[in-house]
Structure 1
Amino acid sequence: MMMGKIEAQDMIWLLVRVKRHQVGGIKKVTVGGEFETYRDRQRRVRKRRIQGTGDRVFLPEHLLRKAGFEVFLPVRWDKKRKNRFSPEKELVAQPLLVDWMFVGWPADQNRWEDLMRLDVVMGVMGTGGRPIIMKASTVIGLMRRWGGGMLSPKCHQMARNSHDFEAGDAVRIDRGAWADFEAKVVEVKGANVSVVLDLFGRETPAEFSWMDLTPVAPR
C-alpha cells in the first residue's frame, strides 16, 4: 500500500446502530459557527449562534467522526415543502437506514472498545454474538449509489479508487433517468465517464459522473 493512500480493503467496516433517544435521532443539527453575546429579559448574559453560520450535520455521524472513526451514512434526496405555509419544495437529504450507519477504521488498528464506549452507539449488526465485518465491495457499492454527494473526503477517495474505469468496461447507471440501465465505457475524462447505451437497438452516447456508475462483472 502506498503511504498516505487509503484503500477500502484496508478498512474494517461495521454496520452500527445509534441510540436515537440520546442524540435526537438521525436528523440534521447545526454545529460550530460564530456566536454573539446578548442579554435576556432578566439582563443575564447569554450566547447565541449568528444566523447563517455553522454547519448542518447529522449528529450521530458528526459525533462518530469526532471520535476518529470513518463514517458512511447512506442518504437519499427527497423533495419536501420548505414550511407549512409555502407550497415551494426543496431537496432534503434523508438517511436511507433508520438509526444505522457504516463505521470503519484502519484494519491494522483495534478500535472495537473505543467504539463501544461511545454513548451514541447502541450496538452493531452481528450473528451468533459476533459482529459482522462488512465486505469492502458492499460498502463501496453503497457509497457509490447512496453517497448523495455527502461522502467525507476519505470515503470519496475510497469510492473513486475502488475501480478505475477503462474503455470497454460494462457499467450500470445508478441514478437519474437511466437508472438500472447498463452501458459500455467509451472514454474517461477526469471525474466524468463517457458511455454508450443500447436503446432499442441503437447506441446512444451519454456522459455521467463516476459516482453514478457501478462496474458490472463479466457474464
Structure 2
Amino acid sequence: MSMMGEITAQDMQWFACRVKRKQVGGIKTIRIGGEFETFRDRQGRMRKRRVDGTGKAVFLPEHLLRRAGFEVFLPVKKVLRRKNRFTPEKALVAQPLLVDWLFVGWPIGGSRWDHLMDLDVVTGVMGTGGRPVEIPSARVMQLMRQWGGGMLSPECERYLKSGVEFKPNDLVRVIAGPLDGVRLRVVDVSGPTVKAALDILGGEICAQIRSDLLIADTPDGGK
C-alpha cells in the first residue's frame, strides 16, 4: 500500500517588499569598486576619482540589503538610452521592472523583520490580513529567468541550475536543507526543481526539491 503525500525542501523564503523612496526618479543606481586615480584640484589639493569605465553599477537598495546579509532579487528590464547628452550613440541600460518593489529572501525558519526594517531601506511588505505573504520559490525563480537582466547574485544564479543532469528513476542524495543526507528517487524534472520519492515505512512521499541541493547517488549509497 502506498502512502502518497507531498513535502517541500526549500531553504529560502521570499517576500515582496516596497522600497522607501528617498529621491525623485525611483530606485537610485550607484557605482562600486573599480580603479581610482589621484589628481590635483584647482586649489592644489590632492583628490581621488574613479577611472571612467571601471567599477560596477548596482541599484542602491539592492546593494544595501545584500551587504546586510539578505538575498535580494530586483527584476530589471533593458532599455536603450543615450550614453550622454553629447552623442546620439545609445546603449542598453538596466532599469527596475517594478516601481519601488523588489524581492527579499532569507533562510526558512528565520525571522529577520526587525533587522530588515532597521535598515531604513523598505517601507513594508506585500501581505494580507496584516500578515506578510510568502512568494513561492518556484515563482521567484521563474521571474529571475525572465527578468534577471544579468544582474543576479551568485546565490540567485545557483537557484537557476536547470537540473538537466537528472532524469526519472535516478537515485539522488540531498546535500543541504531539512532533508540533508536523505536518499531519493527522481520522479520528474521541471526546470530548477526535481520531484523525487522518499520511502517512509514502506510507502512513498513525494518531495519538490531544488536540483542544486541534490547530487547523484548509487544503490549502495556510495559504499
Q: TM-score range by the shorter chain?
A: 0.5 to 0.7
**Cα distance in 2, alignment partners of residues 106 and 22 from structure 1:** 31
- Cα distance in 2 for partners of 1:163, 1:136 equals 19
TM-score by length of 1: 0.64
Deviation of the 1:106 alpha carbon: 0.8
Deviation at 1:8, TM superposition (A): 8.3
Instruction: Quickly say closer, same or farther: Cα 1:143–1:65, change in 2 above 3 A.
Output: same
Query: What is the TM-score of this pair, normalised by structure 2?
Result: 0.63
Change (3 A) 1:8 1:20: farther
- Structure 1 residue 128 and structure 2 residue 129: aligned? yes
Instruction: Choose between structure 1 and 2 for higher RCO, CA contacts under 8 A separated by at least 6 residues.
Output: 2
**Structure 2 spans left out of the alignment, 5+ residues:** 1-7, 169-223
- Is residue 91 from structure 1 mapped to residue 68 from structure 2 by the alignment? no
1: CA distance between counterparts of 2:9 and 2:148?
A: 15
Is 1:46 paired with 2:36? no
The structure-2 alpha-carbon separation of the partners of 1:79 and 1:38, relative to structure 1 and needing over 3 Å to count, comes to: closer
**What is the percentage of aligned positions where both structures have the same residue?**
65
Partner of 1:81: 82
RMSD (Å) for aligned C-alpha atoms: 2.7
1:12/1:133 contact within 8 Å kept: yes
Structure 2 CA distance for partners of 1:162 and 1:151, relative to 1, 3 Å: farther
- CA separation of 1:23 and 1:34: change in aligned 2, threshold 3 A: farther
When structure 1 is superposed on structure 2, of 40-49 and 57-66 the one drifting more is: 40-49
CA spacing shift, 1:135–1:112, aligned 2, 3 Å? same
User: Which residue identity is paired with 1:122?
Assistant: T
2: CA distance between counterparts of 1:69 and 1:117? 13
Matching of residue 58 in structure 1 with residue 46 in structure 2: no
**Alpha-carbon displacement from aligned partner over 1:184-216 (angstroms, at most 9, x marks no partner):** xxxxxxxxxxxxxxxxxxxxxxxxxxxxxxxxx
Amino acid at match of 2:73: F
SS at match of 2:13: strand
**Aligned counterparts of 1:46 and 1:89: Cα–Cα separation in 2:** 31
> By how many angstroms is 1:113 displaced?
1.2
For residues 65 and 149 of structure 2, what CA distance do their matches in structure 1 show? Answer: 19
Equivalent residue number for residue 25 of structure 1 = 26
Greater fraction helix: 1
Deviation per CA, 1:66-95: give whole Å up to 9, x if none.
011111111111122223343332211111
